[in-house]
Amino acid sequence: MKGKSFALNMLEDEQIAAAQHENNTMLWHKRLGHFHHNAVLYMKKNQIVEGLPDLEEELPICAACQYGKQTRLPFPQKAAWKSTQKLQLVHTDVSGPQKTPYLKVKRDKLDKKSEPGIFIGYSSTSKAYRIYLPQNNKIVVSRDVKFLETEKWSWDEQNQLYIDEDVDELPEELNMIDKNNTWELVDRPSHKKPIGVKWVYRTKLNSDGSINKHKARLVVKGYAQMFGVDFSETFAPVARLDTIRMLLALAAQRKWKIYQLDVKSAFLNGYLEEEIFVEQLEGFAIKGKEEKVYLLKKALYGLRQAPRAWYSRIDTHLLTLGFHKSLSEFTLYIKKIEEDILIVSLYVDDLLVTGSNAGFVNKFKAEMKQVFEMTDLGEMSYFLGMEVHQKQNEIFICQQKYAKEILKKFKMEECKSTSTPMNQKEKFCKEDGAEKVDEGLYRSMIGCLMYLTATRPDIMHVVSLLSRYMHCASEIHFQAAKRVIRYVKGIVDYGIKFSQVQSFNFHGFSDSDWAGCVDDMRSTLGYCFSFGSGVFSWSSRKQEVVAQSTAEAEYIVAVAAVNQALWLRKLLTDLDMKQEVSTKVFVDNQATISIANDPVFHDLSFYEKDLEFAAPKSRRSVESYALVAAEGKAEIVNHMQLKSTRLLEC
């Protein structure tokens, strides 16, 4: 230092600058986070990053990069790639930020990413929801759904979407409500909370699958009703399928025609005993009176007590027309006019009418139309999924359309058919070690097959067995259910034919296995009844107690068959067709017949209560006879241990 000045060694400064220039490439390699050298040269060449100095074409070996690739070696605390000075390692976006193009509209990351939709049901193939998207007019299946239960639907005119098929049904339904004087507009009550209403749409099909009509129904949200406040009794009887099939057999024997009537908006005719208030329908509220509510004078669909109110109304009206109600079947009404008879069977809003005099049938239709708004459907052809073909001397029923729908629903239209519905040696149990299957799909399959048993007694036994494993279905149960569908596929157009017989006396067949259920060792009973042509009544179910021998198992099913026979005899007596001869119930077990007919053998059985009931009945009104197993129709309902040719004889 001289004169307050420092002496500079220029040679040393040049050496430092040269060394710094030589390591410039490595320095920027480290600053950019050990970025690839070719990428750094590319950014320099295309001026992507401003301020980069001139870099060498080749990068010296970077120890940090070499060690970084050796992932199995531990990272030491003091490493060459760790920064020790400021700005030695710069964290920055080396090539960005990159812009992601969006084809539709410009969006922000905080914008909504969901689409509004309408919940229309649950998926049958997965645990997800079926959502209708109005914007795209599509139906999607998704489980990522958020339900906005607190928000209301927009009823602005600009958001309206008209459906041509249903738009005409809305005013028709409202006009029917006003015509029946169903409700009255009143002030909102302070002591009761009004119940909401909504629209329900349905497409009604014909037996051939074509569209009959589109229906729009105004229903009450009955789930908001409180027991003891808004309703008390809800039960309303409907006709049993055994009764309907008996009427078909009776009509075929007597050469009668069965006609069908449909009551329009039947539940709107039932009188209410409770005080019920409902809200005005959104979109149809009266202008200037939006705060008012409706007081129901008659029932609406959706009310808990609506079925009972309708049954009480139609029951009272039929009794005033001179009908008397059967004590064995509360939906069967009979009217005797001298030597003629008129029979009416009620199933909710459908009436089946038959009789010996066509003039009385037409008169009854006219009387009913004076009180109720009804549609005359003519001869019975399609009822509860059953296709009814009425000819002069016979009546044939089947479920061909529904069977094809089952094949289509489970995608088995092209499957290979089989001659029997189940393997006769196969036993089912809850814990079989097989893989579990989708319970929803299995339940849907069994439910469809159970509905098919209305005209197919040949699958009654196996469907009854498989229905016991709804909550623990395995691959074995699933394959057994698919075998039933394959069996149905082979004879999809089969059904039951009722024809004339010489002696119109019904008889029954009963049969049972012994300890057929592996899980609880209970037996399965089965019986069926026929007038001599097709069977009209059948059942297959598990016994309520554990039988200790084959004789006791057969005796239990004989008791069940006797009970059913007695009920059928009472029903025929109400129809003025009393059975003058005893009803035969065929049993293929000699021990059971001996116990039923001879009190000496009662000590051999522990079912004293059943013995005391069935034994005197069997000796007085129901006779039991031995029958060879190969000739018994009860095996068709119960065991399915016959060949395919024997299965089709029922």
Q: 534-585 pLDDT, tens per residue?
A: 899 999 999 988 888 888 898 888 889 989 999 999 999 999 888 888 888 8
Residue 234, number of CB atoms within 10 A of its CB: 15
Question: Is residue 314 within 8 Å of residue 321, measured between CB atoms?
Answer: no
> Which residues have a Cβ under 8 Å from the Cβ of 109 and sit 6 or more positions away?
none
Tell me the residue ranges of DSSP E strands in 338-408: 340-347, 350-355, 374-379, 382-383, 386-390, 394-398
The domains of the chain are located at 21-69, 117-146, 165-390, 399-493, 503-650
Print the SS3 string covering 33-53. Answer: CCCCHHHHHHHHHCCCCCCCC
394 confidence band (pLDDT: 50, 70, 90): very high
Rounded to an integer, what is the distance from CA 411 to the centroid of its chain?
A: 17
Q: For residues 61 and 278, give the distance between their C-alpha atoms in angstroms, rounded to a whole number.
A: 84
Dump the DSSP string for 599-625: GGGGGG-S-HHHHHHHHHHHHHTEEEE
For the cut 50, the answer to whether the pLDDT of residue 174 exceeds it is: yes
Beta bridge partners of 50: none
Beta bridge partners of 263: 374
What percentage of residues in the chain have a pLDDT greater than 70?
A: 78
CA atoms within 13 A on the CB side of 376: 10
> Which residues have a Cβ under 8 Å from the Cβ of 91 and sit 6 or more positions away?
33
Q: Regarding predicted confidence, which is higher, 171 or 243? A: 243
Rounded to an integer, what is the distance from CA 233 to the centroid of its chain?
A: 26
* pLDDT, tens digit, 9 for 90 and up, residues 302-324: 899 999 999 999 999 999 999 99
Single-letter residue type at 500: Q
> Which residues have a Cβ under 8 Å from the Cβ of 103 and sit 6 or more positions away?
none
Q: For residues 272 and 269, give the distance between their C-alpha atoms in angstroms, rounded to a whole number.
A: 10
In this structure, the chain runs to a length of: 650
The answer to whether the pTM exceeds 0.75 is no
Beta bridge partners of 509: 528, 586
259: DSSP letter: E
Q: Element (H or E) spanning 540, and its range?
A: strand 535-542
629 confidence band (pLDDT: 50, 70, 90): very low
Under CATH, what is the fold of the domain 503-650?
A: Nucleotidyltransferase; domain 5 (3.30.420)
For the cut 70, the answer to whether the pLDDT of residue 16 exceeds it is: no
Beta bridge partners of 510: 527, 587
Q: Are strands 622-626 and 583-587 parallel, antiparallel or unpaired?
A: parallel
State the sign of the Cα–Cα–Cα–Cα dihedral 279, 284, 286, 290.
positive
Q: 229-233, 550-554, 643-647: which range is least confident on average?
A: 643-647
Q: Element (H or E) spanning 509, and its range?
A: strand 507-512
- Give pairs for 51-60: CB < 8 Å, separation 24+: 52/28, 53/24, 53/28, 54/24, 55/24, 55/25, 55/28, 56/24, 56/25, 59/25, 59/26, 59/29, 60/25, 60/26
Beta bridge partners of 541: 525
Question: Is residue 387 within 8 Å of residue 400, measured between CB atoms?
Answer: yes
Single-letter residue type at 435: E
